[in-house]
Amino acid sequence: MADYYQLLGVSRQASADELKKAYRQKARELHPDANPDDAEAAEHFKAVSQAYAVLSDPEQRARYDRFGEAGVGGAGGPSMNDMFSGGINDLFSSLFGGAAGFGGGGRRGPSGPPRGQDMEVTARVTFEQAVFGVTLPVTLKVPQACGDCEGTGAGAGTKPVTCSECNGAGQVQRVRQSLLGQMVTTSACPRCGGLGEVVVTPCPTCRGEGRVTAERTYQVDVPAGVDSGSTLRLTGRGAAGPRGGPPGDLYVHLRVSEHERFVRDGNDLVTEVPISMSQAALGTTVKLSTLDGDEEIGVAPGTQPGHEVILRQRGVPRLQGRGRGDLRVIFVVDVPTKLTDAEADLLRQLAELRGEEVGQPDKSLFSRIKSAFQ
């Protein structure tokens, strides 16, 4: 399939308004009612509609920009079957005020109770939990189906009745003339809100809405390897829809706490290990506490400041992949800032043996007095 941006005739930097304007123009040109018996136009119309359905959704668009069609196929993106089994009518409704067709499209039935809102919550996890994964509770206040009326919104002993204005269709149609002939626009019934039913005797608990707000706690499985800014989607854990409508989704935004010793670099962990001048020059073995336990690391004689040792597979697990990153250990040579007279003499002897010029000891009266009080 051609590039989605090319199908709509816009640049990859097009704004949401530019995408909408381009799609409206293409849709009017290619709509099957405007091109009867033109199979090529119908296929082009489907392709353009799918392109807009993906690019008009910020999350889908971001995946498409990064991975192309592979990023939206099977990853929550709309399929052609989904789009043309009702989804495209919703898309057209939002663009053309409920246009069901050009020239007398069929009358649709009630759309049913609306879907509940998506909910968002932020969860903080420790550095170790982000690396190894964790199941943590997330508590929030969310609209839930009313238990007294079972989500119908109707009071005890009653039930919703058919809307008299739309006769249960949930929609009203208006016909007007255009250059293409009659244009039928369909919109939600103003009396029942598109439900096809009205509540005569509202439930006193939910006041006819069919839902009440209450606190809920969900157990969220945080996979190993997540980082700050990662978002988890819990399908059907959002707000319950009014009057028995399907629930929305819950989006959990993760914030990872910093670690006192480790810094994350992609899937690698980086830490600094201080060693003395003597240890750097003569070599030694140091003990390092990693996230997997204590390990001994050899310091080779003559180790220079900033020298890096890599411990394979001690880093962060790769999301949607195998294996782990590495642990990078950087040696920092600690140069003493205060020396005793004996230590200073030994270092001067070493410098003399190596033929190195160093500063001479300060023999002033102030220096002697200062040394006496140290």
Q: Is the pTM of this model over 0.85?
A: no
pLDDT tens, 241-253?
988 889 999 999 9
> Both 277 and 352 in a single domain?
no
Residue 47 has pLDDT above 80, yes or no: yes
* Assigned domain for 12 exists: yes
Looking at 35, 68, 96, the residue that finishes a domain is 96
Same-domain status, 299 and 357: no
Nearest alpha carbon to residue 171 among 193, 155, 202:
193
pLDDT value at residue 181: 65
In a domain, 348, yes or no: yes
- What token pair was written down for 372? 């006496």
What was the pLDDT predicted at 179?
62
Q: What is the mean pLDDT of the chain?
A: 84
- Which CATH number is 284's domain given? 2.60.260.20
Residue at which a domain ends, from 96, 116, 132: 96
Q: What integer pLDDT is reported at residue 75 of this predicted model?
A: 41
Distance CA 326, CA 266 (A): 10
Q: Please give the residue range of the domain that contains residue 86.
A: 1-96
DSSP secondary structure letters along 311-361: ETT-SPBPTTSSSB--EEEEEEEE--S---HHHHHHHHHHHHHTT---PPP
- 364 and 288 in a single domain? The answer is no
How many domains is the chain partitioned into structurally?
3
In angstroms, the Cα distances linking 103 to 134, 147, 184, 185, 327 are 57, 45, 6, 10, 67
Residue 350 falls inside a structural domain: yes
Mean pLDDT for 273-287 is: 96
Kindly write down the DSSP assignment for every residue of 268-292, as one continuous string: EEEEEEEEEHHHHHH-EEEEEEETT
Listed range (143-157, 273-287, 356-370) with the worst mean pLDDT:
356-370
Instruction: Clarify whether residues 56 and 81 are in a common domain.
Output: yes
For residues 53-77, average pLDDT = 73
Residues 91 and 5 in one domain: yes
Q: What is the pLDDT of residues 73-102, one digit of tens each?
A: 644 444 444 444 444 444 454 444 444 444
